[in-house]
Structure 1
Amino acid sequence: RISGPIDESLSKLHFLSFIRLDQNNLSTTVPEYFANFSNLTTLTLSSCNLQGTFPKRIFQVPVLEFLDLSTNKLLSGSIPIFPQIGSLRTISLSYTKFSGSLPDTISNLQNLSRLELSNCNFSEPIPSTMANLTNLVYLDFSFNNFTGSLPYFQGAKKLIYLDLSRNGLTGLLSRAHFEGLSELVYINLGNNSLNGSLPAYIFELPSLKQLFLYSNQFVGQVDEFRNASSSPLDTVDLTNNHLNGSIPKSMFEVGRLKVLSLSSNFFRGTVPLDLIGRLSNLSRLELSYNNLTVDASSSNSTSFTFPQLNILKLASCRLQKFPDL
């Protein structure tokens, strides 16, 4: 491990292309002269206890591909306008004090595959030009102050991971937001103010394993969805919304489901234990605080086992006998 500050003599290495100083106690600012390294392709300075304001010009180094400043909680800055042709493939600013808005010119970064901005102070709407990032694979904007509606990602056909949780996003969720995103494995839109009904299509995404939509303002009935028996879904969290009607039967046909959290909604009707029993891989089941009745009186109830179940929440589910699990 080395400690800072970064010596001025480094500025004389004009052809420097790779700087990796992660997990050193530099306790200093990032030198402005880094922006003069015209061959710089990689700059990774995560967990270096960096301070001050990060020089904007470094973002604009034409050949820079990898920029990681994550986990520097005293480092502030903002993202500048990007030139017409940028080379950046990875930008990681998570757990810093970066703030401001994301520029529309983010779409100029046509090679961008990974964008991590979680736990910062970003605000304003997410630019609609995000739809043009055709190589985007991983996007994490969680724990910020982004506002406005959810952007469309129709051009990001390679997108695997999408986390926009714990922001101030509003508006509707539609089929068009996710149409064609066949590689998407993880969606977390929890803790926003999204509203309207849930499109059944979101449950039909062919690669989706984990879906978190908790703590929003979704309303209406959750419609039946197709291909439930072959779905790769293992986690569905719709907790703390305003959803009503019956729980769709197709939800109990998703054999790989490990986590089903539907608490604090307005679901109604009777849920027989034998229906829940189809989900033999469940480790977490939460149905509390709805208008549901869980019927454990079925004569076949003893034939269902949940060997992996470790969390069971059925408060206010009108149980007349405890299920034999």
Structure 2
Amino acid sequence: MKRDLTEKQFAWLLILPAVILVFGLDLYPLIETLIYSLRDMNLTANHYGSFVGLKNYITVLSDTVFWQSLGRTAYFAIVSIVLELGLGMAIALLINDKKIKGRRFLQSIIILPWAIPTIVNGAMWNWIYNPDFGALNALLKQLHIIDQYQSWLGTPWTAMNMILLADVWKMTPIVVIFFLAALQLTNASVYEAAQIDGAGLLRRFWYITLPNLKSILLVVVVMRTMEAFKVFDIIYATTRGGPADGTMVLTFQAYLKAFNNLEYSTGATYSYLIALLIALLTFSYVRLLKRKEAK
């Protein structure tokens, strides 16, 4: 005799494919990577997985290479997020203004840089920065800003900032879209009333626009922090961590440890430390926002 499924059983039956997919693509690799980080998986030394506990974490955290890479990653994340938030908010405010001609067209094409795959974006900027025939050198020389072609990726400091420029160009559009969506939900009558009461442009921005953007601002900061600390593609496509390790960020260091040096445990340890850093930063952002709202 057939037995009908209960509502709970039917619900589990519906979500089972998604659960299997998530476990196979996300949870299982995470668990396996955690196990690797607690073992000695160094194929170059013929070590095949003896359990070492937290030894890999202690070794990595006591290594100056890790802290140097963390410093570069933090610099990349902070500068890119600040620039993207500033530019994104300015552009969103500009194209949200109904007085701007062609604003609908601008709103439709603003997303194009973000739609380009990161590896393609990196290759494109690599050509732009080329010291012999790059477009940047040609433009600056025609404008008489430089006298001779420069090697934009030839020194550590310059290379890091050029990669930052490429990342900001690609990621600012998605920040614009988030801010623009929030701005368009703001009641226009509030601005009109404030303007009638004599509130200037800066006052309206500070007391009306910014508070309305606070929630979306947290979302953007968390999202961009996660992406910035995981930056890899643009580094791989342009400098491969060079010159002189000037762009050697944490994720690229993890990649080299795991796939170049075959130190899988060290690479896994780097990956989990990156995830821990992102989780701590996200938790801090949320706590900070809640504290401000409580006040």
One fold, TM greater than 0.5? no
TM-score by length of 2: 0.19
TM-score by length of 1: 0.18
Query: Larger strand proportion, structure 1 or 2?
Result: 1
